[in-house]
Amino acid sequence: MKAIERPDFGWDGLRDWGDVEFYGSMKSGITARDSKTSGYTPEVLQRLSFANALCENLLAAVMLRSRLRRDSPDYHYQKEQTVKETEHFIEQLLNEYLSGLLAKEKECQPKSRLPEFMGVDSATYRSWLTRTAQEILYWTALQPCEVSDRRASAPFAECFSEHIKLTGNLDNIMYPKPLHSLDVYKEFPRDFYNVNGQLNLGANNAVFPLVSLVKGLTLFASNVFSFAGQNVRDDDME
């Protein structure tokens, strides 16, 4: 959680303009050691960098919200109301972005258009949203090892750290299939702490656990480009 301890944006927007990158000279996401940039033109690399920045900023908003909420006793993936509240936050986050993207509509309140925009039917969308909310809560909730009062953590024995310690697996309802080959040999707490002695989000050198969120954000970003490209063509025709 150290990465989001001092975010560069607040209620009134960005706090540090030194981190701003302008389209055409963006480097975020393409200078990392594991970035795959060979074979792409500069124009394509800019689009990839923009898509990466878009997804990272939406992900950051989710992480900040999780940091603020995780101390609440009801912040748990088996709490139906908390799952619904998390679903609502994700919807609001994406709809607010679309409201800005479609600013010429001058909406007073962002309207829900996500299933249509993402190109999925309503049932698929709802299933993705619920799964995403549950994964976020499962992986970002306080773990018993982070709570000084052991009695306070008793109701939340159902958590990833206890599941791994007791069974070597994750929640068998959420994760009925075998773990990814990179995750099979991960143990808690050995493989879940960074060099600063803080819990990572998931195991070290393993699959990022918020899989559903990342898949949804990637689809969302790709459709942002499709929308932008269509608007450019429409404007040219006018």
Question: Which residues are CB-contacts of 207 (< 8 A; sequence separation ≥ 6)?
Answer: 180, 182, 183
Which residues of the chain carry a pLDDT beneath 50?
232-238
For residue range 187-205, list pLDDT tens digits in order. 999 999 988 888 999 999 8
The pLDDT of residue 201 is: 93
Q: Is 8 left (phi over 0), alpha (psi -120 to 50) or beta?
A: alpha
The pLDDT of residue 237 is: 36
The pLDDT of residue 109 is: 59
User: What radius of gyration do the chain's Cα atoms show?
Assistant: 20
The pLDDT of residue 14 is: 59
For residue range 2-12, list pLDDT tens digits in order. 555 556 666 55
Residue where the block lists tokens 């030194």: 18
The pLDDT of residue 174 is: 95
The pLDDT of residue 80 is: 96
The pLDDT of residue 192 is: 94
Residue where the block lists tokens 């795959």: 36
